[in-house]
């Protein structure tokens, strides 16, 4: 670049000297021929002709295509930058408006990046990972059993690496200080396959994963190391307790790594061979428990389809070799973003919708900026006219204007990204605060986001710059140079169109925001089939405190006694899982007496283990039969309560189900009751079969105390703690919260969508207001003379106000009608985000329209009022 600049300079000087010498020689010739010096110079000059043209053309000769382009571009950039500083007000407004639009989009993109592009931070090429998952015949995604994984890995030809892990919720630490964390039990290949290293010590390897229960070692996360272990540099070799079991820390994982559960922060990694010790009965040899999440990078050249074919073959072999244990599922390979595990499954649809909204808001921003550029184009008509007159080509002019817009776009993008990183925590973390565990989503503003923002801003610049630039380049020379007349009303047509489209787009956004807000409100009041208000949910873990089953059973009974007599609770119960916990709880292969399932039928049913009075406490209706009682003990007949869906699937009615038998693994259990359906994981789920087992028969060491408060729920919470303290102070209270708080996690999606859409809605309405205000104000300014005449011949001030109010609201009206039509047409697209509200909800539609029209009215009011203040005398004198 530099050498080229020097060369250009030299050519220029050379040409100068050459032309000068030519001129001197011509003069000398004339003098020699007898002319006097003065007239000789004059004649020579005349003869010389258009020196500028000669110079320009000779210069052109020396420039190749690219060099010429670069040189022109450089010129345009310099000029554009100067213009930017010359017009700080205009530049500021454009950059501000643009950065608003970019910010919203960059924020959404960051979320998208966190979920889909960089789902597992710290893992090499995590977006390229493929997941091996089982599918029940209903299409529900499940994991792989440990033996299946072993066989699959042995037979595999498609993967360059494979690793598997199962996620567990576990208590970390002992006694009252224990905390609930997410842990992963991993295969020996886990760290190597994912390309994750240790910042301290070592990671786990194949030798840590050989024999069940023999490798009490763990790698901990950077977060756990810093937050719970004070970043102790000598942590290697120390003992930590996971579910009460001692593990020796062998390493701290690299800082970025947060495990392989998308959006969840995993804090401890232990060998899967430790599962029987850490997390209850061994699943290592059962082909019926599908707990392993399997993932890996495919070999180069092998696609998902080929990997799938292999998985299908594997399924067939497996079914042939183990016909009894292998029903109801087939294995398949999907890209990680399609994996049904982790947050992406329920966040991605929301983000797709938000992305669509983002595009819409971007268009509004573009329209607004185009408007500004158009107006400025008017004031630059003179300048552009001069350029054309001096011989600038129209193409060159268009390019100059585009370059100017690009120069505005870059700071717009940067400001937008800065703004996005400022608002992101509010959007993302607002949604995460109520999640069941530490949520980890990499939404940091990085190269991806920056690139995205600059790309979007560039595209915007082209869109908003192109139309005005084309218009400007089409100007007629004579009118441009002479134009001082106010007759430019016709040029308002394009601006009017822009305003109409802005109003339409903002109405669409407002209607959607209304729909989602109302869904959120409805979801907040949604029961999910139970009533969580005023119910505590205090999770305790007996295993961590060293309780075995007999001691645990004693404590459970004492707890139930305490709950029954405590006046702060009207009723209370113990339950293994809570409803609407966002993730599917435990499920079991279930057998129905007298029913032969089709070979491919999904008989894997979710279940919960609860104490008596559970249904009463959560106000879940019992449709038939009875509740569990204290007498349904370990010695008496096994009982089960099923939900309505299960009852109706296998027996005609809830009443018919009573007395029938089913079993999962152990003895046959008699159905003693049928409970109403709940939303077990999410609000949006379809009804599914569910079974309840009695805690007094089916002991589990970890459960939550769910008691309905007679009065204040926080007092009830305190009473739960007091009782636990007096029963056994060493039992860790893992998570003291209320059921309402806990189930709110299921509302994350609605909350995220609602907050983002509201933000967008407010932004667009502000932008539309600016647009309408600008247009009306501009029309008023252009029509000052007309107003003067009208008033001079007797128009009243209110008539003038009405005229201009009419113009603004008329345009807004057209925009609103278009917006309504569009909103009705596309409202089906956001159906996935709606709950309890129809896609054509009248309240949202009429509310949005009312807001838009009121804003339009307000935005036109000020300029219209100003129009009425015009003094006819001054107005008429002006021209």
**Minimum distance from CB of 59 to other proteins (Å)?**
8
Stretch that binds other proteins, among 20-28, 374-382, 672-680, 795-803 (CB under 8 A): 20-28
Alpha-carbon gap, residue 279 to 285, rounded angstroms: 14
Is residue 31 close enough to count as binding other proteins by CB under 8 A?
no
Is residue 16 close enough to count as binding other proteins by CB under 8 A?
no
**Minimum distance from CB of 55 to other proteins (Å)?**
8
Alpha-carbon gap, residue 208 to 286, rounded angstroms: 21
Please identify which residue in the block is written with the tokens 């074919």.
309
Residues facing 547 on adjacent strands? none
Closest CA to 275 of 218, 329, 332: 218
CB closer to other proteins out of 14 and 125 = 14
**Minimum distance from CB of 53 to other proteins (Å)?**
5
Is residue 65 close enough to count as binding other proteins by CB under 8 A?
no
Is residue 67 close enough to count as binding other proteins by CB under 8 A?
no
Stretch that binds other proteins, among 42-50, 385-393, 483-491, 860-868 (CB under 8 A): 42-50
Work out whether strand 639-643 and strand 690-694 pair parallel, antiparallel, or are unpaired: antiparallel
**Minimum distance from CB of 37 to other proteins (Å)?**
15
Contact between 688 and 680 (Cβ < 8 Å):
yes
Alpha-carbon gap, residue 673 to 655, rounded angstroms: 9
Residue 644: left if φ>0, alpha if ψ -120 to 50, beta else—which one? alpha
Is residue 714 close enough to count as binding other proteins by CB under 8 A?
no
Is residue 4 close enough to count as binding other proteins by CB under 8 A?
no
Is residue 635 close enough to count as binding other proteins by CB under 8 A?
no
Is residue 22 close enough to count as binding other proteins by CB under 8 A?
yes
Near other proteins by CB under 8 A: residue from 33, 34, 49, 652:
49
Stretch that binds other proteins, among 48-56, 104-112, 178-186, 290-298 (CB under 8 A): 48-56
Alpha-carbon gap, residue 867 to 871, rounded angstroms: 9
Near other proteins by CB under 8 A: residue from 3, 50, 207, 565:
50
**Minimum distance from CB of 11 to other proteins (Å)?**
9
Stretch that binds other proteins, among 41-49, 505-513, 683-691, 817-825 (CB under 8 A): 41-49
Please identify which residue in the block is written with the tokens 């807001």.
851
Residues between 273 and 302 with contacts to other proteins, criterion CB under 8 A? none
**Minimum distance from CB of 26 to other proteins (Å)?**
6
Could you give the dihedral angle defined by the CA atoms of residues 802, 805, 811 and 817, in that order, rounded to the nearest 10 degrees? -90
CB closer to other proteins out of 3 and 50 = 50
Stretch that binds other proteins, among 13-21, 574-582, 594-602, 807-815 (CB under 8 A): 13-21
Near other proteins by CB under 8 A: residue from 8, 12, 19, 656:
19
Stretch that binds other proteins, among 10-18, 99-107, 292-300, 388-396 (CB under 8 A): 10-18
Near other proteins by CB under 8 A: residue from 12, 31, 43, 62:
62
CB closer to other proteins out of 26 and 814 = 26
Near other proteins by CB under 8 A: residue from 53, 239, 248, 725:
53
Is residue 561 close enough to count as binding other proteins by CB under 8 A?
no
Size of the site for other proteins (CB under 8 A): 25
Could you give the dihedral angle defined by the CA atoms of residues 300, 305, 311 and 317, in that order, rounded to the nearest 10 degrees? -120
Contact between 414 and 504 (Cβ < 8 Å):
no
Alpha-carbon gap, residue 594 to 235, rounded angstroms: 57
Residues 6+ apart with CB under 8 A from 193: 161, 162, 163, 296, 297
SS3 589: strand
Stretch that binds other proteins, among 53-61, 179-187, 301-309, 686-694 (CB under 8 A): 53-61
Cβ-based burial of 33 (10 A; exposed 0-12, middle 13-18, buried ≥19):
exposed
Closest CA to 10 of 75, 62, 72, 78: 62
Near other proteins by CB under 8 A: residue from 4, 39, 57, 798:
57
Please identify which residue in the block is written with the tokens 């926080």.
714
* DSSP 8-state symbol, 651: S
Is residue 861 close enough to count as binding other proteins by CB under 8 A?
no
**Minimum distance from CB of 33 to other proteins (Å)?**
12
Alpha-carbon gap, residue 345 to 260, rounded angstroms: 14
Q: For every residue of 437-460, which 3-state class applies, written as one string?
A: CCECCCCCCCHHHHHHHHHHHHHH
DSSP string, 810-874: HHHHHHHHHHHHHHHHHGGGGGGG-SSS-TT-HHHHHHHHHHHHHHHHHHHHHHHHHHHT--HHH
Stretch that binds other proteins, among 52-60, 119-127, 158-166, 654-662 (CB under 8 A): 52-60
Rounded to a whole number of angstroms, the CA Rg of the chain reads: 37
Alpha-carbon gap, residue 164 to 290, rounded angstroms: 12
Is residue 155 close enough to count as binding other proteins by CB under 8 A?
no
**Minimum distance from CB of 7 to other proteins (Å)?**
13
Closest CA to 739 of 587, 565, 528, 426: 528
Closest CA to 108 of 339, 359, 336, 342: 359
Closest CA to 457 of 104, 877, 828, 111: 104
Near other proteins by CB under 8 A: residue from 7, 9, 10, 14:
14
Near other proteins by CB under 8 A: residue from 15, 410, 423, 861:
15
* Other CB atoms within 10 Å distance of the CB of residue 247: 24
Is residue 470 close enough to count as binding other proteins by CB under 8 A?
no
**Minimum distance from CB of 20 to other proteins (Å)?**
9
Contact between 250 and 244 (Cβ < 8 Å):
no
**Minimum distance from CB of 764 to other proteins (Å)?**
55
Is residue 60 close enough to count as binding other proteins by CB under 8 A?
yes
Alpha-carbon gap, residue 114 to 93, rounded angstroms: 31
Is residue 54 close enough to count as binding other proteins by CB under 8 A?
yes
**Minimum distance from CB of 36 to other proteins (Å)?**
19
CA dihedral over 264, 270, 272, 275, signed as positive or negative: negative
**Minimum distance from CB of 871 to other proteins (Å)?**
57
**Minimum distance from CB of 50 to other proteins (Å)?**
5
Stretch that binds other proteins, among 44-52, 73-81, 223-231, 657-665 (CB under 8 A): 44-52
**Minimum distance from CB of 387 to other proteins (Å)?**
21
Near other proteins by CB under 8 A: residue from 5, 9, 39, 51:
51
Stretch that binds other proteins, among 12-20, 255-263, 282-290, 798-806 (CB under 8 A): 12-20
Q: For every residue of 682-700, which 3-state class applies, written as one string?
A: CCCCCCCCEEEEECCCCCC
Is residue 58 close enough to count as binding other proteins by CB under 8 A?
yes
**Minimum distance from CB of 411 to other proteins (Å)?**
40
**Which residues contact other proteins by CB under 8 A?**
14-15, 17-19, 21-22, 24-26, 28-29, 47-51, 53-55, 57-58, 60-62
């Amino acid at each position: 670049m530099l050498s080229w600049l020097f060369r250009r300079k030299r050519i220029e000087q050379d040409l100068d000297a050459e032309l000068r010498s030519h001129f001197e020689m011509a003069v000398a010739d004339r003098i020699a021929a007898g002319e006097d010096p003065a007239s000789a110079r004059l004649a020579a000059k005349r003869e010389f002709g258009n020196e500028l043209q000669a110079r320009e053309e000779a210069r052109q000769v020396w420039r190749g295509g690219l060099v010429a382009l670069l040189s022109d571009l450089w010129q345009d950039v310099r000029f554009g930058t100067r213009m930017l500083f010359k017009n700080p007000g205009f530049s500021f407004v454009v950059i501000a408006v643009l950065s608003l639009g970019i910010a919203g989009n960059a924020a959404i993109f960051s979320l998208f990046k966190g979920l889909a592009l960089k789902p597992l931070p710290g893992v090499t090429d995590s977006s390229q990972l493929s997941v091996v998952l089982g599918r029940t015949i209903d299409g529900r995604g499940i994991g792989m059993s440990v033996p299946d994984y072993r066989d699959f890995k042995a037979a595999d030809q498609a993967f360059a690496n494979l690793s598997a892990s199962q996620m567990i919720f576990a208590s970390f630490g002992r006694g009252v200080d224990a905390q609930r964390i997410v842990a992963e039990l991993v295969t020996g290949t886990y760290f190597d396959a994912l390309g994750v290293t240790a910042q301290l010590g070592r990671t786990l390897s194949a030798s840590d994963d050989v024999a069940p229960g023999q490798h009490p070692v763990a790698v901990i996360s950077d977060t756990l190391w810093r937050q719970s272990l004070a970043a102790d540099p000598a942590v290697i070799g120390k003992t930590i307790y996971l579910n009460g079991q001692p593990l020796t820390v062998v390493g701290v994982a690299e800082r970025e790594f947060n495990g392989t559960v998308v959006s969840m922060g995993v804090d401890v990694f232990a060998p899967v061979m430790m599962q029987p010790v850490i997390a209850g009965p061994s699943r290592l040899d059962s082909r019926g428990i599908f707990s392993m999440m399997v993932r890996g990078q495919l070999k180069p050249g092998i696609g998902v389809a080929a990997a799938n074919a292999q998985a299908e073959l594997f399924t067939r072999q497996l079914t042939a070799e183990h016909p009894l244990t292998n029903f109801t599922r087939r294995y398949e390979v999907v890209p990680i973003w399609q994996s049904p595990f982790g947050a992406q499954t329920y966040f991605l649809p929301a983000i797709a919708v938000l992305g669509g909204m983002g595009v819409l808001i971007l268009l509004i921003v573009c329209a607004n900026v185009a408007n500004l550029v158009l107006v400025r184009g008017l004031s630059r008509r003179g300048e552009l006219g001069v350029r054309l007159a001096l011989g600038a080509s129209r193409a060159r002019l268009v390019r100059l204007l585009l370059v100017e817009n690009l120069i505005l776009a870059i700071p717009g993008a940067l400001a937008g990204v800065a703004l996005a990183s400022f608002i992101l925590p509010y959007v993302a973390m607002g949604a995460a605060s109520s999640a069941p565990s530490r949520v980890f989503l990499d939404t940091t503003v990085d190269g991806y986001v920056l690139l995205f923002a600059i790309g979007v801003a560039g595209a915007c610049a082209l869109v908003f710059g192109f139309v005005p630039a084309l218009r400007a380049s089409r100007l007629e020379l004579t009118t441009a140079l002479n134009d001082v007349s106010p007759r430019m009303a016709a040029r308002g047509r394009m601006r009017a169109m822009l305003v109409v489209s802005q109003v339409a787009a903002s109405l669409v956004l407002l209607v959607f925001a209304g729909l989602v807000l109302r869904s959120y409100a409805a979801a907040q009041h949604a029961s999910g089939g139970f009533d969580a208000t005023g119910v505590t949910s205090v999770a305790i873990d007996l295993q961590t405190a060293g309780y075995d089953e007999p001691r645990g059973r004693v404590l459970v009974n004492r707890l139930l006694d305490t709950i029954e007599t405590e006046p702060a609770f009207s009723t209370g119960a113990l339950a293994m899982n809570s409803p609407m916990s966002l993730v599917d709880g435990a499920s079991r292969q279930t057998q129905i007496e007298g029913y032969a399932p089709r070979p491919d039928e999904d008989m894997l049913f979710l279940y919960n283990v609860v104490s008596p009075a559970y249904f009463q406490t959560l106000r879940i209706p019992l449709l038939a039969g009875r509740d569990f009682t204290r007498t349904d003990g370990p010695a008496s007949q096994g009982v089960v309560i099923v939900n309505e869906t299960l009852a109706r699937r296998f027996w005609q009615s809830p009443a018919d189900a009573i007395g029938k038998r089913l079993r999962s693994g152990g003895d046959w259990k008699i159905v003693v009751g049928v409970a109403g359906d709940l939303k077990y994981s999410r609000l949006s789920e379809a009804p599914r079969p569910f079974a309840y087992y009695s805690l007094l028969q089916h002991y589990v060491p970890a459960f939550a105390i769910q008691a309905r408060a007679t009065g204040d729920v926080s007092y009830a919470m305190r009473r739960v703690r007091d009782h636990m303290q007096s029963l056994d102070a060493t039992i860790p209270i893992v998570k003291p919260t209320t059921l309402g708080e806990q189930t709110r996690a299921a509302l994350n999606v609605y909350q995220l969508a609602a907050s983002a859409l509201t933000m967008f809605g407010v932004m667009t309405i502000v932008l539309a207001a600016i647009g309408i205000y600008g247009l009306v104000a501009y029309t008023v300014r252009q029509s000052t003379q007309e107003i003067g005449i009208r008033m001079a011949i007797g128009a009243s001030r209110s008539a003038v106000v009405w005229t201009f109010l009419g113009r603004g609201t008329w345009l807004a009206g057209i925009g609103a009608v278009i917006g309504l039509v569009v909103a009705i047409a596309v409202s089906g697209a956001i159906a996935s985000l709606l709950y309890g509200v129809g896609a054509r909800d009248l309240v949202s539609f009429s509310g949005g329209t009312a807001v838009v029209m009121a804003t339009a009215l307000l935005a036109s009011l000020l300029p219209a009022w100003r129009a009425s203040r015009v003094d006819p005398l001054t107005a008429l004198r002006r021209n």
